[in-house]
Structure 1
């Protein structure tokens, strides 16, 4: 049995804390608040990349990870691909999970790991905070016509909460276009903090779009949180629009270097990271 295939087990009798950290496998006892029982979780790696490295035949699914320096383990969805294990931190496929959330919820995370979800800014920060490690971020996009596209960024990391989890990305590659740095000059989102409707960290005070003055980008993007600048050409946490209603909306799942000229809301999106 490989470490990544070990099951989650429940114990009712005693509080156990067993560490096999030399093998990056730690048993951590946690309390199940709903059942009133102690729950022992098998930590299967520091991230999905390490799990795939330790167990090359590991399949995509939910795993328990504990990044270095993080006190409590947490669950993530791992996409186990040919080029390694990727930790998914955003998935959109429909309107079932609303993304018009406030700061505290974006920090903690929401949704369902096997379906649409946002992992949480604090967890993504934990995955990228060690400067001696580097992370690649990948954005996958699906349109309503059967097409797909991707964008990858090297040296991805987030700033601290005091820095509003500001976005830092390195070199781009892909076929979706570099929407983070912008469809046109002056809207680079790299280096900007995360914004929500109740915590504005964008670069508009205001921004003028024709005869419209925009102060808070999150409002115009359907209440979705993002690393807005002025306001930017990448935003994947706005309102999800169905087929036939996906073109022309100011809110939406936008990656404007990929589709246009009218605003195009993607059918689905996925954001994930792997360590390199």
Structure 2
């Protein structure tokens, strides 16, 4: 388990009055033994002795345009600057070696909004897990904003009939219809996160469905859904809930559905039931009917018009 700790170093810019710029760093701490410094000898930019504190070490690196990461030895106050970003997760050893890397991007949409409360809804670049950059669509208005959208459908312009690998890695147009990627959603929800979805059906006059949950996570290589604690729901959803899929794996096109009720064109979380009923399949072929309730009445199906699924770190 990796614990992410955030450090900000504030510097007053010359020529600016009462203005400060946050220099974003990330310190990653993991269990295990110390495994050498973060950069080889040829990539060392500088070594400075008797540096008073880690924050001072960071400032020295920030002032050097070629420095991308630093180590700070707490026992002898040695500061080492590197030319390269981290290639893998750094560690903190028992002797107290701290390792930091500059962050050019924030971690998620919530952190973007926390830094700029006037941030607009739209596309931003984040650093997933502190290292891998990814373009995401941020909803900065719904329920206080700071939501990272991972599914959006509105016009059928993107084909959602995809295999497991494509659902894992993501597809579509981040400015239009898209699926962000299961592996990214899993990474983003390693920290406690809430979940919200909204569905609009083609039936004129029907209120959109909304549900919001205080806990959401994807577990393991099959991205098993872990969801709990519904905060609210609205719309005429007949008592159905996304929580139906709790503890279910994600199933995609052309997979063996022997342990799943989903098959054919259904890419979704599944659940085991003798009757193989299912609800709220938001990845179904656009313009076709999806079942929305258990009972067999004639109004138990709806045609999806638009849907949005999003997560937010708590």
Q: Which residue is equivalent to 2:168? A: 107
- Report 1:18-167 matches (<5 A): 18=68, 43-68=104-129, 71-81=131-141, 83-129=144-190, 133-144=191-202, 145-146=204-205, 147-161=207-221, 164-167=222-225
Asked if the contact 1:135–1:156 (Cα under 8 Å) also holds between the matched residues in 2, the reply is yes
**Unaligned regions of 5+ residues in structure 2, if any?**
1-18, 23-64, 71-83, 87-102
TM-score if structure 1 supplies the norm length? 0.68
Asked if the contact 1:78–1:88 (Cα under 8 Å) also holds between the matched residues in 2, the reply is yes
Q: Which residue is equivalent to 1:228? A: 270
Give the deviation of 1:71 after TM superposition.
Answer: 3.5
Query: Runs of 4 or more off by more than 2 Å in structure 1?
Result: 1-4, 15-20, 176-181, 197-204, 254-257, 259-262
TM-score if structure 2 supplies the norm length? 0.60
Count of aligned positions: 213
Give the deviation of 1:266 after TM superposition.
Answer: 2.1
* Counterpart secondary structure, 1:141: strand
Give the deviation of 1:256 after TM superposition.
Answer: 3.7
1:237 counterpart = 2:283: yes
Q: Which residue is equivalent to 1:175? A: 234
Asked if the contact 2:254–2:263 (Cα under 8 Å) also holds between the matched residues in 1, the reply is no
Asked if the contact 1:166–1:193 (Cα under 8 Å) also holds between the matched residues in 2, the reply is yes
* Counterpart secondary structure, 1:235: coil
Equivalents in 2 of 1:195, 1:118: separation in Å? 14
Q: Which residue is equivalent to 2:253? A: 197
Give the deviation of 1:84 after TM superposition.
Answer: 2.6
Equivalents in 2 of 1:218, 1:2: separation in Å? 55
Bigger-Rg structure (1/2): 2
Give the deviation of 1:96 after TM superposition.
Answer: 1.2
Equivalents in 1 of 2:229, 2:258: separation in Å? 22
Give the deviation of 1:218 after TM superposition.
Answer: 3.0
Equivalents in 2 of 1:256, 1:63: separation in Å? 37
Give the deviation of 1:124 after TM superposition.
Answer: 0.3
Equivalents in 1 of 2:309, 2:172: separation in Å? 14
